[in-house]
Amino acid sequence: MDLGIRGKVAIVTGASAGVGRAIACELAENGVDIILVARGAERLETAAAEVASRYAVRTLAIPADVAEIDTPARVVERAAREFGRIDILVNDAGRAHAGGLMQTTEADWAEMTNTKFSAMRRFCGAVLPHMRERGWGRIVNISSIGGIYPNPKLLVSHTLSAAINNLTRGFALEVAKEGILVNAVGLGAVLTDNWKKNMIPSVRKSRPELGAASDDEIVRQLGAEMTPVGHFAQPEEIAAIVAFLASARNSFITGDTIEASGGADRFM
């Protein structure tokens, strides 16, 4: 299916690995030039070079911490200066954070809020003038199914996911008549290195019977137990959903949070 976005320009945050990198690849495969944003400069430069080489599109790596207040405006200004336009924004920066109310600190809440929610809000505001100028734009915010079905084991992440879903809905209604569509994708468990690094240790603590199991065994067990389809997602599956929402083929879906969880309402 031709998504009708060849020649457009996208900013993808959290693009050096995992779901963000898969999204950058999927958009690039459809002819979109990509600005990749993440904290780790070396891994980000590698990702940008590989995307450019594999898909013959222009790429730009901008190493930056999205939690810093001036990062979104700075990234958008540079992207517009070097590419001449911004058509698509995908907000993927951030990670899951395990712990309930009594296990999380003020620092945890501040870090996650700044990295996930505040950065997303600032990026949306920063790209809006450029999309308004052309009368077309697509924004996709990566959320979690926990924003709909909160899990106390992931309270920080899921509280912020609910905020992301509401930001998405409210902002979408604000700009819908201007040709700018804003949606979110609520993720279940996706098999990324970050998920394994952050979630599997927590599972080992809460599920003593799995303490001696390998990472792959834990993933298979949890996928079978907690996901109606019987397995967790690959990043490329999420990227395909995002690419459609960010495309010209989508002219009617806005303000929605698409659940991408294999039918599950939790994954821990």
Task: Map out the domains of the chain as residue ranges.
Answer: 9-260
Confidence (pLDDT) at 102: 83
Confidence (pLDDT) at 58: 98
Confidence (pLDDT) at 196: 77
Confidence (pLDDT) at 268: 61
Number of H helices, E strands in the chain: 9, 7
Confidence (pLDDT) at 56: 98
Confidence (pLDDT) at 202: 77
C-alpha–C-alpha distance, residues 138 and 130, integer Å:
11
149: tokens are: 């079905």
Amino acid, single-letter form, for residue 268: M
Please tell me whether residue 106 adopts helix, strand or coil conformation.
helix
Confidence (pLDDT) at 98: 77
Note whether 196 and 154 are within 8 A (CB): no
Confidence (pLDDT) at 72: 98
Nearest to 164 by CA among 186, 149, 194: 186
C-alpha–C-alpha distance, residues 104 and 63, integer Å:
28
C-alpha–C-alpha distance, residues 244 and 35, integer Å:
18
**Residue 118 DSSP symbol:** I
Long-range contacts of 109-114 (CB under 8 A, 24+ apart): 109/156, 111/67, 112/156, 112/157, 112/160, 113/160, 114/67
Confidence (pLDDT) at 96: 77
State which residues of the chain have pLDDT below 70: 267-268
N- to C-terminal Cα separation, the chain: 35
**Residue 90 DSSP symbol:** E
Give CATH for domain 9-260: 3.40.50.720
